[in-house]
Amino acid sequence: MTDPIIVAKANGVGRVVLNRPDKLNAISLAMWQGLHRALVDFANDDEVRVVVVEGAVGDKPAFSAGADISEFADKRGSKEAVDAYNATAQAAEHALNSIDKPTIAKIRGYCVGGGLGVALCCDLRIAAQGSRFGIPAAKLGLGYSVSALKPLVDLVGPSAAKEILYTAKRFTAEDAVVMGLINRCVPAGELDAFVNDYASTIVGNAPLTIKAVKHIVREALRDESLRDEALCQRVVDDCYASTDYTEGRTAFMEKRKAVFTGR
């Protein structure tokens, strides 16, 4: 049986591939479980500095067409089953959203429903021209909680979020750039090289600085009364106390590329 999740590590980059191309990488319960395991592993591996999430390429390209609806009768046929399924999916999305390493969603083709939800948990979204984005809840009668919709609203704002949800339309990658849903739209033939370049660029930068940025941007999005100011100060202090800070300054003066260790 083909593994529904492919995990690989190389050159500081951890990769997770949603691997059901014949089903447009529709996310099954086993895939949620595999995604969670991969992210926990990456979080604990100091050699991994960037995480890339993508969909396996089939006859019809797709990042993911969303949750596997064919499982709903079996895996979500009762309240208890729904609660268990949702807890598994939420654990995977929380692991992706909370990992203190940069994450990139590499998007080719359909990125809709739960697939878009996974992409929204990533720090950056880079898509190929021809990709399509949407949340079809209004065509299925589904409801989303505040916690489920907050990443979308935080990213694109309330008006664009309502447009996406009210219409249940599939938007182009060019539309998605205008909305702020994705960071970059590139020609399909250039997607692999573009994402590899972004990932390697980030790998070469100071890990503690990247970690500090991730924490502080997350806290900046919270209500001021709820921010963890002590955490923000600690991650900044860690940068200045690091040997990487010394290395960065020295490399700059010596006009060479810095070699950062994350310490």
198-225 mean pLDDT? 95
Q: Mean pLDDT across the chain, nearest whole number?
A: 93
Phi, psi dihedral angles at 82 (to 5 degrees):
-60, -45
Q: Into which CATH architecture does domain 5-202 fall?
A: Alpha-Beta Complex (3.90)
Q: What is the pLDDT of residue 70?
A: 73
Name every residue whose Cβ is closer than 8 Å to that of residue 194 and which is 6 or more positions away in sequence: 126, 184, 186
* Strand 110-112 with 103-107, pairing: unpaired
Domain boundaries, the chain: 5-202, 206-253
* Residue pLDDT, tens place only, 58-84: 899 999 998 887 776 666 667 787 788
**Cβ 154 vs Cβ 108: under 8 Å:** no
For residue 1, is pLDDT > 60? Answer: no
Name every residue whose Cβ is closer than 8 Å to that of residue 71 and which is 6 or more positions away in sequence: 28, 29
Q: How far is CA 189 from CA 56, 186, 195, in A?
A: 15, 8, 12
Q: Which residue has the higher pLDDT, 82 or 211?
A: 211
Cα gap 72→150, rounded to integer Å? 24
Q: How far is CA 182 from CA 96, 129, 154, 200, in A?
A: 17, 12, 13, 20
Q: Is the dihedral of CA 73, 75, 81, 82 positive or negative?
A: negative
224-250 mean pLDDT? 95
Say which range, 21-35, 64-78, 140-154, 244-258, has the weakest mean pLDDT: 64-78
The residue among 146, 139, 147 whose CA lies nearest residue 165 is 139
* Strand 132-134 with 50-55, pairing: unpaired
* Strand 171-172 with 132-134, pairing: antiparallel
